[in-house]
Structure 1
Amino acid sequence: MNDVASFGANIQKTVLEATSDALGLAILVCDKNDEIVFASRPILQFYPIPAQFLEAGTRLKDFLGAIFDSGVRSGTAPETSRRNVNRDEWISERLSHHWRERFDVVERIGRHRWINVRKRRLSSGLGIVAISDVSEQKKREEQMQLDMERVELTEGILDSLPNPICVKDRSLNYIAVNKAFCALHGMTADTILGRSVWDLLEPELAEKFERSDRATLETGEIHYQPEQIVQADGEDLWVVTRKFRVGDPGKYLLVTCMNDVTDLVVGYSGLDDASSSRSPLEIKDYGLFAPAQNCYDPFRSIDMQHLIEAGAIIDPDTRGRQRILLITDAPALEVNLVPQLRRWGFDACAVRNAEELSAFKDACAVRAVRIDTLLIDGTMADALTLVSSWTSSPSLVLAKDWKPVELRASVLALCENGIGTLPSVEADGPADWDIIVPDVSLTGRPMPEVEVVVAEDNEINQFVFAQILEGLGISYRIAADGEEAVKLWQRYRPNLVLMDVSMPVMNGFDATRAIRALEKSASFQTPIIAVTAQALDIDIEQSKLAGMDDYITKPISPDMIEAVYRKFVITKAERLAG
């Protein structure tokens, strides 16, 4: 007589084996008693264990013990697999993973081999484990990381060079610039990248440069031109500019290198023949050096001894254009916004403090120059005080997250309608002052890319932290030791740090001291919460001395993390808003 149950079991086994082969997976199925029901042969490709441990009826504990004894086991680096690792603890930890409803992890089982382990526990009690080889993916990721490191190294080398260098794509937009090129224009890399020469120079020069750029891109011939440049600081720079085409067909890039020959042209200091009227190069025709970009901005470079002459700097041909004065102590905002206002057709310049504002006001009065609109940086602590005496011009407070379209419309409305005369500082509120209110942030800080940094060396606790923070919708990064936690804090400046006190390389106390030392000059101090195994008085005292704000004890829970986040992040933001 045929055994129907046995026949059904054979069909199920056949289906599982076919599924394992078709998907390239190693599959393991165990019942609610933690005994193996099915194990596909590809498991032996990952773990060199005797085949008898894959037979039905084998206890899961024995199967894991065989993996441990093989020395090639997940969750343990190959170089430490032969060291003193507790066998029972390792097996117990893996058994606990099998009883989770779902568990996914990527682990290394060899020096160059990685696997993705996905575990699911069904409501019937059956546990299913699927193992796949992701070594190639990890290799690609490692290669990508290596490529990124090479890019960073290349950028570091370019930034250390004294000659201005820039790279443009086929659309002639800047995709890379070094520090010398940024200094030449008096701008940051972020304000240059993605833009074209038309955004930086006068139309005549922009057209000239674009012609030579396109000629080099199309023909591959090196462009050579001696040039005289006026830098952002007003100093002359004599260069020999060369343009090269690099890359493969269809993916050409344009590299421009400006070799600084200023010392050779104007002469070295201290030469014996310094009284000679000739330069060391004995240049007969300075006309060889074509006038190039003039990056000097008299308004941006204005200082106290020149302020009184500021009215004479204004071009008489631009008297019909509306004039805007920006008040900000942030160089980045000035560099970004003043050129933008000029592209919109306004005459714009900036002052940075009370002394410059007062001198500029006197200069305007002497020259009968009217400022049509006053733009005030809303992040300046004394913005209202600085402009309290300037009552004749419409005013606008600039939000930190200003939008170009909205700002342009607001400025035009003020210039045309004269809305927004500045009230006195003593008034309860600037009711007649057109204000763009910035979003509330912690003491002026923008919302960070990563809200919470977790310092935790235990893999299980890392997983628990990740699950809780993801469930709460909070962005996070996890550090495996204190040193990494400090680096992540420096990179992301999060709203909160959850710091395990006991970690390798650098413990939580030392990591907190390092962060506090780096924060001495900062206006915002990141809340750091100690995470301890148990609330011992000595740990709590050490936490306070290190500079931690509070502590929580393991095991952690969603309620615990949410309470800490609400106390040190949300409540503080609400208090600042109030």
Structure 2
Amino acid sequence: MNDVASGGADISRIVLESSCDALGLALLVCGRDDTILHASASMLQFFPVQPHLLKPGTRLRDFLGAVYDTGLRPGTLPESSRRRANREDWIAEQMGLHWRERYESVERAGRTRWICLRKRRLSSGMGILSVSDVSDQKKREEQLHTDLERVELTEQILDAQPNPICVKDRNLNYIAANKAFCAIHDVAPEAILGRSAWDVVDAELAERFEQSDRHVLATGRPHSEAEHIVRADGSDLWVVTRKYRVGVPGRHFVVTCMNDVTDIAAWYHGAEDGGGNSGLQIRDYSIFTPAQNFYDPFRALNVQQLVDAGSMIETLPARGLRVLLATADREMEDRIVARLRGSGLDACAVRNREELDAFAATAGDCGVKLDILALDTALPARDAILAGWKTCPVLEVSSQADATTLLGEIFKACTDRHQARSHFPPADWEVSFEGDATARTSASEVEVLVAEDNQINQFVFAQILDGLGVSYRIAANGREAVELWQELQPSLVLMDISMPVMNGFEAAAAIRDAESQTGRRTPIIAVTAQALDIDLKRCEASGMDDHIMKPISPDMIEALLRKHMRPATVRLTA
């Protein structure tokens, strides 16, 4: 009987040792009288005590005292082992932990080693201690924590940079973008990260960006280019964009840094030297490649706010207007003409009244219409010109005038003039189109109905449709658009989706509901600020046929007209 019992105990011990080795842990079992009943041999790997201290019958207190004496007791660093805590207090504390029903902790044992201690006290009074090495796991956690701190620090450094910076992966998707880059688009980083340039900018620019990005990825050669960007708030950003390849083979990235050179690209006046001119002037803006225009004029509140804020109005209807500057000041001519041309206007200058009269006569013979005459207040013949000039509105400009402010005044003058045309017949020198704003009341003459509540954007549509020779009417809200549609039966509706009283979705649904009784279908084009999937689905659900994104352009409108309606019939009036 004793031999059988002894053989069974040996088998149990062997199985227990094998299990500990397989699980990668050490096991210590003690009885209710705090004597060791069993200790696996692997316990010596964690606590280098004398082997006899792990034999059955050894007091747990003696084992803990030996662990304390090694200086590798859990929770004590090697460099602080000389400043030992009281031995008896430490042993008493550990004995108390062994009598807890459950106790688990991860503690440092040595300079680079971490162990996990799990203690259980069974209802029978038997205590079990398991010890496992978690150094690798702890190192991974510490490395992850360090990496996260490094990433956070890198993001903070990038966000602190005044220049826009972004990073793309080998699939050319954005994986990082600092605050300055997001500010250009006026969106949060979440709206950019994970997307490509095709989701952020126009298709033509996205293709150009992709070509340069892929060239940098393939060759590793840096790419640089001077660009003119219009931010989402309408202000200019003149940059020298540089692209670099970073990373290791198979994990290359493209880093794009836009160095802001606005201060030297635009003329400015210093204030510290008593008002004298300072800074530099770029006379040839053609070195800057037109980049993305993020400004949305539909966000603008009114013209006066734009002028007061000194916003760059490059994307508003002032683009393409013909402006003539009359000044004898060569410096003023160079500064203002270059700035206006850089903003998309057709600008030139004359230096005296004789040149002005000759220019006006030649322009009239060629059928070229001036939109604005900017007259230098210091020009000798100023009073005579003001008294006799009838060709176009005149804006008086001082020699110290800021070109940006002049842009706002030009736009405001054009806006006021357009609004006045709805009350006065066109002058005998103007060219007008059939169905002009002065006589658009008959349903047969109205080809396009524009639903738009913003006055600036109404002017944008009016300028474009006037230029295309298309008759139109403008509704200020969705309800008015439905009423004008019923009255005029236009061939096409351009519907802004965000309007007061009734939004574009509701107005389109109302038109489709009315058409269900007649069998007639008018093409309705949604005008959106962003091509979000949810908006496009609502456009489709409300019965709209197509959509365009702001800011709009003549090419965009002309393509819609060709697609959805016959070309307008244009005739000149006497």
TM-score (norm 2): 0.52
The residue aligned with 1:210 is 210
Q: How far apart, CA to CA, are the structure 2 residues paired with 1:233 and 1:81? A: 63
The residue aligned with 1:266 is 266
Q: Secondary structure at the match of 1:58?
A: coil
Instruction: Tell me if the contact between 1:168 and 1:174 (Cα under 8 Å) persists in the aligned partners.
Output: yes
Q: Quickly say closer, same or farther: Cα 1:48–1:280, change in 2 above 3 A.
A: same
Q: Secondary structure at the match of 1:170?
A: coil
Amino acid aligned to 1:155: E
Alignment of 1:497-516 (within 5 A): none
Q: Secondary structure at the match of 1:151?
A: helix
Higher RCO (C-alpha under 8 Å, 6+ residues apart) = 2
Gaps of 5+ in 1: 326-344, 350-359, 365-369, 376-403, 417-578
Residues 224-281 of structure 1, C-alpha deviation per residue, up to 9 Å, x if partnerless?
21111111221111111111111112211111111111112224532989988x9736
Q: How far apart, CA to CA, are the structure 1 residues paired with 2:245 and 2:145? A: 27
The residue aligned with 2:288 is 289
Find the structure with the greater CA-based Rg. Answer: 2
Moved more, 209-218 or 57-66: 57-66
The residue aligned with 1:371 is 503
Q: How far apart, CA to CA, are the structure 2 residues paired with 1:323 and 1:111? A: 75
Alignment of 1:158-557 (within 5 A): 158-270=158-270, 280=280, 283=282, 285-302=284-301, 305-306=304-305, 309-312=455-458, 315=461, 347=496, 371-373=503-505
The residue aligned with 2:3 is 3
The residue aligned with 2:35 is 35
Amino acid aligned to 2:225: Q
Q: Quickly say closer, same or farther: Cα 1:313–1:178, change in 2 above 3 A.
A: farther
Q: How far apart, CA to CA, are the structure 2 residues paired with 1:32 and 1:321? A: 93
Instruction: Tell me if the contact between 2:300 and 2:456 (Cα under 8 Å) persists in the aligned partners.
Output: no
The residue aligned with 1:61 is 61
Give, in angstroms, the shift of residue 58 of structure 1: 1.5
Alignment of 1:71-86 (within 5 A): 71-76=71-76, 83=83, 85=85
Q: How far apart, CA to CA, are the structure 2 residues paired with 1:52 and 1:414? A: 86
Q: Secondary structure at the match of 2:251?
A: coil
Amino acid aligned to 1:187: V
Gaps of 5+ in 2: 306-452, 466-471, 479-493, 508-531, 545-574
Q: How far apart, CA to CA, are the structure 2 residues paired with 1:192 and 1:323? A: 33
Instruction: Tell me if the contact between 2:230 and 2:237 (Cα under 8 Å) persists in the aligned partners.
Output: yes
Q: Quickly say closer, same or farther: Cα 1:264–1:9, change in 2 above 3 A.
A: same
Q: Secondary structure at the match of 1:226?
A: strand
Give, in angstroms, the shift of residue 310 of structure 1: 3.9
Give, in angstroms, the shift of residue 177 of structure 1: 0.9
Instruction: Tell me if the contact between 1:39 and 1:54 (Cα under 8 Å) persists in the aligned partners.
Output: yes
Pairs aligned (count):
350
Residues 293-326 of structure 1, C-alpha deviation per residue, up to 9 Å, x if partnerless?
112122335368459634426646899999999x
Instruction: Tell me if the contact between 1:78 and 1:110 (Cα under 8 Å) persists in the aligned partners.
Output: yes
The residue aligned with 1:140 is 140
Amino acid aligned to 1:309: Q
Moved more, 205-214 or 70-79: 70-79
Give, in angstroms, the shift of residue 153 of structure 1: 2.0
Q: How far apart, CA to CA, are the structure 1 residues paired with 2:265 and 2:293? A: 19
Q: How far apart, CA to CA, are the structure 1 residues paired with 2:283 and 2:456? A: 37
Is 1:110 the counterpart of 2:110 in the alignment? yes
Instruction: Tell me if the contact between 1:322 and 1:372 (Cα under 8 Å) persists in the aligned partners.
Output: no
The residue aligned with 1:157 is 157
Instruction: Tell me if the contact between 1:73 and 1:81 (Cα under 8 Å) persists in the aligned partners.
Output: no
Q: Secondary structure at the match of 2:248?
A: coil
Residues 11-64 of structure 1, C-alpha deviation per residue, up to 9 Å, x if partnerless?
333333334444442221223433211112332332243333211112223322
Q: Quickly say closer, same or farther: Cα 1:275–1:406, change in 2 above 3 A.
A: closer
**Percentage of matched positions with identical amino acids:** 53
Amino acid aligned to 1:156: Q
The residue aligned with 1:129 is 129
Q: How far apart, CA to CA, are the structure 2 residues paired with 1:241 and 1:80? A: 55
Amino acid aligned to 2:136: E
Q: How far apart, CA to CA, are the structure 1 residues paired with 2:201 and 2:244? A: 21
Q: Secondary structure at the match of 1:247?
A: strand
Q: Quickly say closer, same or farther: Cα 1:405–1:220, change in 2 above 3 A.
A: closer
Q: Quickly say closer, same or farther: Cα 1:33–1:161, change in 2 above 3 A.
A: same
Amino acid aligned to 1:63: F
The residue aligned with 1:431 is none
Instruction: Tell me if the contact between 2:35 and 2:60 (Cα under 8 Å) persists in the aligned partners.
Output: yes
RMSD between superposed Cα atoms in Å? 4.0
Q: How far apart, CA to CA, are the structure 2 residues paired with 1:101 and 1:321? A: 80
Q: Quickly say closer, same or farther: Cα 1:110–1:304, change in 2 above 3 A.
A: farther
Amino acid aligned to 2:216: T
TM-score (norm 1): 0.52
Amino acid aligned to 2:8: G
Instruction: Tell me if the contact between 1:229 and 1:238 (Cα under 8 Å) persists in the aligned partners.
Output: yes
Amino acid aligned to 1:372: G
Q: Quickly say closer, same or farther: Cα 1:63–1:192, change in 2 above 3 A.
A: same
Moved more, 307-316 or 114-123: 307-316
Q: How far apart, CA to CA, are the structure 2 residues paired with 1:77 and 1:249? A: 42
The residue aligned with 2:374 is none
Q: Secondary structure at the match of 2:34?
A: coil
Q: Secondary structure at the match of 2:269?
A: coil
Instruction: Tell me if the contact between 1:321 and 1:346 (Cα under 8 Å) persists in the aligned partners.
Output: no
Residues 453-490 of structure 1, C-alpha deviation per residue, up to 9 Å, x if partnerless?
xxxxxxxxxxxxxxxxxxxxxxxxxxxxxxxxxxxxxx
Amino acid aligned to 1:288: I
Q: How far apart, CA to CA, are the structure 2 residues paired with 1:202 and 1:324? A: 28
Instruction: Tell me if the contact between 2:497 and 2:505 (Cα under 8 Å) persists in the aligned partners.
Output: no
Q: Secondary structure at the match of 2:27?
A: strand
